[in-house]
């Protein structure tokens, strides 16, 4: 069975993936598909070496952020540990950003072993390559099954549904206003939003890519974008658009393939929520007491931020999040009547 966790960025899916990784059956694979190019599900076949050339490349957004000293919690490569291959200012291969360091204490070794395995594979379609590699990774870590989770995965659910027929999906969601404000606190999201919506008229994607790393003594447009705190509504538009696109994929799935889980339920009642997910993913909920360990990771709901916004900004954020919140069946914030 192919298993995927999908959601928007900053919805709590990293925590859910860590919780499922407590199961002795489950290998949680972090941020694999998110770093692949736009033709990641092309129907044509490719060789193992061709695939390796794609999945071993550094991701430009990661390089832009880390080379300027910003911490991104999803980047789990052990920079600074004696004997590791890469430093914080280096261009880090995508597989080492999050996925392999989550699976082993020696990600450089697993990276080399992955290269040997992937390059030995025959021509296959990309989805068949991914499935084969995912199962191999599970076996290397002593697990029998895998799930893949990438931030923003709900956006390409239609592609996932076509590429992995019969796959099971867990869609984790969180209120749009709070998700958007969490995105705004995240350096990589601020950079992405600034580029996507052209918030710096002097900087486009080509300009940003030309300045992957800062140049001493020169104007640094990427640093300028990282320092900016865009209006919350930009993140709300991005969040809603991800959901609108993702629900096109929900419509083509068999009901048995898909469940929705709210972030609130996950943190308020993790044991019940994890048992529901385990049933959907055909996991043993009692294997090795993993649910108790996973539930202990929860530290309660984070404080809500939307109420702290100035009223005009709060109203605008609620307005752009209404479409996404309605799709999720979440309460829609009523419009605020501002004083004249």
pLDDT, one tens digit per residue, over 93-109 is: 999 999 999 999 999 99
The torsion region of residue 176 among left (phi > 0), alpha (psi -120 to 50) and beta comes to: alpha
Residue 46 within a domain? yes
Q: Residue 58's domain spans which residues? A: 3-327
Mean pLDDT of 122-144: 97
The neighbour count for residue 115, using CB atoms within 10 Å, is 17
Residue 281 within a domain? yes
Structure confidence at residue 337 (pLDDT): 45
**Which pLDDT band holds residue 319 (cuts at 50, 70, 90)?**
very high
Mean pLDDT of 183-194: 94
The neighbour count for residue 217, using CB atoms within 10 Å, is 6
Taking the C-alpha atoms of residue 117 and residue 51, their distance in angstroms, rounded to an integer, is 11
Residue 336 within a domain? no
Report the DSSP pairing between strands 26-30 and 258-262: unpaired
Of the candidates 273, 70, 17, 295, which has an alpha carbon nearest to the alpha carbon of residue 187? Answer: 70
pLDDT, one tens digit per residue, over 241-261 is: 999 999 999 999 999 999 999
pLDDT, one tens digit per residue, over 3-54 is: 999 999 999 999 999 999 999 999 999 999 998 888 889 889 999 999 999 9
Q: What is the DSSP letter of 139?
A: H
Q: What is the CATH number of the domain that holds 112?
A: 3.40.50
Count of the separate structural domains present in the chain = 1
Residue 277 within a domain? yes
pTM of this structure: 0.94
Output the DSSP codes for 166-206: T-EEEEEE--HHHHHHHHHT-HHHHHHHHHHTT-STT--HH
Torsion of CA 67, 71, 76, 80, to 10 degrees: 60
Residue 21 within a domain? yes
Residue 339 within a domain? no
Query: Is the separation of the CB atoms in 149 and 30 below 8 Å?
Result: yes
Residue 194 within a domain? yes
Residue 333 within a domain? no
């Amino acid at each position: 069975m192919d298993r995927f966790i999908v959601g928007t960025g900053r919805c709590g899916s990293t925590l859910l993936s860590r919780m499922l990784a407590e199961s002795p059956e489950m290998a949680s694979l972090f941020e694999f598909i998110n770093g692949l190019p736009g033709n990641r599900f092309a129907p044509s076949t490719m060789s193992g070496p061709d695939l390796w050339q794609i999945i071993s490349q550094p991701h430009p957004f990661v390089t832009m952020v880390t080379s300027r000293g910003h911490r991104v919690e999803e980047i789990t490569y052990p920079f600074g540990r004696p004997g590791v291959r890469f430093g914080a200012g280096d261009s880090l291969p995508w597989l080492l950003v999050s996925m392999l360091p989550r699976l082993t204490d020696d990600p450089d070794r697993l990276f080399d072993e992955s290269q040997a395995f992937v390059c030995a594979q025959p021509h296959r379609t990309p989805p068949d390559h991914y499935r084969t590699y995912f199962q191999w990774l599970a076996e290397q870590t002593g697990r029998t099954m895998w799930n893949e989770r990438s931030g923003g995965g709900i956006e390409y659910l239609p592609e996932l549904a076509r590429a992995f027929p019969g796959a099971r999906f867990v869609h984790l969601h969180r209120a749009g206003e709070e998700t958007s404000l969490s995105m705004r606190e995240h350096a990589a999201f601020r950079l992405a939003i600034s580029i996507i919506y052209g918030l710096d008229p002097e900087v486009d994607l080509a300009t940003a890519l030309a300045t992957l790393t800062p140049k001493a003594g020169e104007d640094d447009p990427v640093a300028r974008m990282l320092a900016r705190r865009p209006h919350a509504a930009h993140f709300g538009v991005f969040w809603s658009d991800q959901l609108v696109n993702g629900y096109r994929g929900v419509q083509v799935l068999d009901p048995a393939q898909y469940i929705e889980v709210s972030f609130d339920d996950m943190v308020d009642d993790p044991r019940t929520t994890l048992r529901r997910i385990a049933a959907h993913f055909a996991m043993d909920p009692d294997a090795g007491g993993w649910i108790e360990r996973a539930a202990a990771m929860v530290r309660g709901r984070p404080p809500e931020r939307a109420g702290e916004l100035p009223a005009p900004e709060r109203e605008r954020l609620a307005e752009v999040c209404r479409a996404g919140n309605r799709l999720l069946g979440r309460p829609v914030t009523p419009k605020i009547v501002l004083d004249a």
